[in-house]
Amino acid sequence: MDETLLRSLTPSVLGILVRRGIDFAAAEDAVQDALVEAVRVWPADPPRDPKGWLTTVAWRRFLDAARADAARRRREDLVDEEPAPGPAPTVDDTLQLYFLCAHPSLTPSSAVALTLRAVGGLTTRQIAHAYLVPEATMAQRISRAKRTVSGLRFDRPGDVATVLRVLYLVFNEGYSGDVDLAAEAIRLTRQLAAAIDHPEVAGLLALMLLHHARRAARTAPDGSLVPLAEQDRSRWDTRSIAEGVEILQAALARDQLGEFQAQAAIAALHADAPTAAETDWVQIVEWYDELARLTANPVVRLNRAVAVGEADGPRAGLTALAAVDDALPRYTAVAAYLHERDGDPATAARLYAEAAQQAPNLAERDHLTRQAARLNALRRR
């Protein structure tokens, strides 16, 4: 059974239920129950009309739940009548669900969890596994998030930017356990791009595709990080790159630049270089300048210093770095790299070891420790 296909039906089925007048939280529970039932029943008995099947089962589940709850008389009255067939499911329902699940009243972690469940159709258990928290904790997070948004109108347009931030967060978590969050983020962004015509949605989708294309090359068989310059580019996924570049070019042609398009443009320039040495660093610096105009994020200036170091030499890179806040994560790692390029292995080794102490994750810490060890071993010779 194609579970991705099944899950892709989630938002439209949920949209149908909400339009029939069920409140969002109850509708979402009913759809989740129907998905679980589908996983159980479909392999042996696949339905001819999957969406119709899910809608019917979700509706029945809702009726059962509502009837079982004697306190909810009002809802019982509502459901005693046969439902109107409901308006044809539209793209609009899907879009409204994205807005609701990324509503500004939700914390980022709640918005992420709710989006993965209500739009993505993942189970609470799968989401809990992916974020390495107990299932009961994730269940609470999701039900609190549902309570927060349940009073909101379903027909108000939301802010695309908040949705994009949520999807970006999901993508950046990478993957752990049995759910590939990066692939799921791409699927959800693709679905969003089909529901709304917006250059930054396209920009984010392009950015994800271009980074996802490098995934196989990014880690060695032993799990250690392989930096961009040392990656085996023959292992990059050329189809994913071609798709990302095409989407990006169409977005850029509309002349409404945003930060995701600019980030995707940088990723595209890396993807375009047959070897690390052939990278067009001058253009990359220009895109970082563009990005710095679009966002106040100080990390842009840090990354720009690396690009300047490649375009104009390590001295220029160190000069650019001097203007960056040295408390930024990875500042010391960048300084180490530029000093090594500048022919100062002693300073570089010391800074790499220092950067390892500050590393935000194990893979980076191990990588930076190795860099320090490599330079120290060379110096001992």
Question: Does residue 357 belong to the site contacting other proteins (CB under 8 A)?
Answer: yes
Question: Does residue 331 belong to the site contacting other proteins (CB under 8 A)?
Answer: no
Interface residue with other proteins, options 222, 253, 274, 275 (CB under 8 A)? 222
Interface residue with other proteins, options 90, 109, 295, 369 (CB under 8 A)? 369
Strand, helix or coil at 294? helix
Closest to 28 in 3D by CA, of 186, 139, 156, 136: 139
Question: Does residue 353 belong to the site contacting other proteins (CB under 8 A)?
Answer: yes
For helices 281-294 and 299-312, the axis angle rounded to 10 degrees is 160
Q: Which residues, in sequence order, are CB contacts of 270 under 8 Å at separation 6+?
A: 210, 228, 279, 284
Question: Does residue 349 belong to the site contacting other proteins (CB under 8 A)?
Answer: yes
Question: Does residue 137 belong to the site contacting other proteins (CB under 8 A)?
Answer: no
Tell me if 150 sits within 8 A of 29, measured CB to CB.
Answer: no
Q: Which residues, in sequence order, are CB contacts of 319 under 8 Å at separation 6+?
A: 308
Give me the residue label for tokens 């052939």.
Answer: 278
Question: Which two three-digit tokens encode residue 83?
Answer: 């439902």
CB of 93 to other proteins, least distance (A): 41
Q: How many residues bind other proteins (CB under 8 A)?
A: 21
| Rounded alpha-carbon distances, angstroms, from residue 29 to 17, 36, 152, 274, 351 | 11, 11, 17, 49, 52
Q: Which is nearer to other proteins, 185 or 353 (CB)?
A: 353
CB of 368 to other proteins, least distance (A): 9
Interface stretch with other proteins, choices 260-268, 276-284, 296-304, 349-357 (CB under 8 A) = 349-357
Q: Which residues, in sequence order, are CB contacts of 227 under 8 Å at separation 6+?
A: 367
Q: Which residues, in sequence order, are CB contacts of 144 under 8 Å at separation 6+?
A: 110
Print the binding letters for residues 179-218 with other proteins: x by CB under 8 A, - otherwise: ----------------------------------------
DSSP 380: H
Interface residue with other proteins, options 4, 107, 137, 224 (CB under 8 A)? 224
Report, in angstroms and rounded to the nearest whole number, the Rg of the chain calculated over CA atoms. Answer: 24
Interface stretch with other proteins, choices 53-61, 78-86, 253-261, 368-376 (CB under 8 A) = 368-376
Question: Does residue 223 belong to the site contacting other proteins (CB under 8 A)?
Answer: yes
Question: Does residue 362 belong to the site contacting other proteins (CB under 8 A)?
Answer: yes
Tell me if 142 sits within 8 A of 117, measured CB to CB.
Answer: yes
Question: Does residue 374 belong to the site contacting other proteins (CB under 8 A)?
Answer: yes
CB of 360 to other proteins, least distance (A): 8
Question: Which two three-digit tokens encode residue 271?
Answer: 């993807």
Q: Which is nearer to other proteins, 249 or 357 (CB)?
A: 357
Q: Note the residues at the interface with other proteins (CB under 8 A).
A: 222-224, 349, 352-353, 356-360, 362, 365-366, 369-370, 372-374, 376-377
